[in-house]
Amino acid sequence: MATLPSQEFIFPKNSDIGASELSIEEASKPCTYLCGNSLGLISKRSQRLISEEMDVWGKRAVEGHFDHPHGRNWKDITDHANPILASLVGANLDEVACMGTLTANLHLLMNSFYKPTQQRFKIVCEARAFPSDQYAFASQAQSHGFDPRFAVIEIAPRSGEFFLRETDILQVIETHGDQIAVVLLSGVQYYTGQWFPMQRITEAGHNVGAMVGWDLAHAIGNVPLNLHDWNVDFAVWCSYKYLNAGPGAIGGLFIHEKWHEAVLPRHAGWWGHDPTTRFDMPHDFSPIRGAQGFQQSNPSVFATAPLIGSLQIFRDVG
């Protein structure tokens, strides 16, 4: 009999999370977990992979980078995640990179795609975006000499309503059109759970000449995505919510292939260098084509292994 997806995960017992008003029998049962929007549960595969990596570290030390007993050489460990991530976000393999953390990746890509001028400098987002996004938008505007009070347009629901109307979003984009540098919303709003019409918003942003990016923290692994075909310019995500990769796990980013030949400004690091010569330690940077050329440091194995374990479940479920 096939294993049910729910049986792949470890659920805390009611007693483990402080449920003190239950009978002994009920206290020993697994809890009903409704906090995956904040931190997903650990999968049994993730637990095993973390244990394996700890063992490899002990037995192989530095050789784990090149001679891994489980076929996950640390120098290539994200190769086990990138194909599944590409499938989840609807992208080509060279459009995704398993790397960094969400806000760090957001800053990296805004440094490449947010190029304000005196005429076109505004950032459009939803009101009550996740605070880290709001801080990033404000600091990006400030770093270019703009006052966030005027540079960041926050679209709020109408009075007495809780969700944004699509017509209102599109109207704001049209009204501010030639002043907008970037449209950057959440795929799924973290507070309300609203799934925005990403394709139509992307098209509207492009129609006024703006770049369009997405924060997919609450969307990846939760709703179907098709970033390549939707012509999204860039996107970022974390993996500790619906991807169940663990607290502070490695994040990821997407850059549409239409930008792969462009000379985009980037904060380069050695892990974005051509892997065939990376360990020759050359003086000049030769980036990997596509999103993986934006990598900076080698990925944390212990932040990546649990993601791989969880992604294997996504792959197997289909």
pLDDT tens by residue, 278-302: 999 999 999 999 999 999 999 999 9
Question: pLDDT tens, 45-69?
Answer: 999 999 999 999 999 999 999 999 9
How far from 232 is each of 22, 29, 90, CA to CA, in Å? 49, 44, 11
DSSP for 152-163? EEEE-PPTT-SS
What pLDDT is stored for residue 24 in this prediction?
Answer: 86
Cα Rg for the chain, rounded, in angstroms? 21
Return the pLDDT at 117: 96
Q: Which residue has the tokens 């009101």?
A: 127
pLDDT in tens, 135-161: 999 999 999 999 999 999 999 999 999
Quote the pLDDT of residue 4: 64
Residue 193: both structure tokens together? 């759970």
Residue 297: how many CB atoms within 10 A of its CB? 11
What pTM was estimated for this model as a whole?
A: 0.95
Residue 287 confidence (pLDDT): 93
* pLDDT score, position 1: 46
Residue 3 confidence (pLDDT): 64
Point out the residues of the chain with pLDDT beneath 70. 1-5
Which string of b and e fits 198-213 if b means at least 16 CB within 10 Å? beebbebbbebebbbb
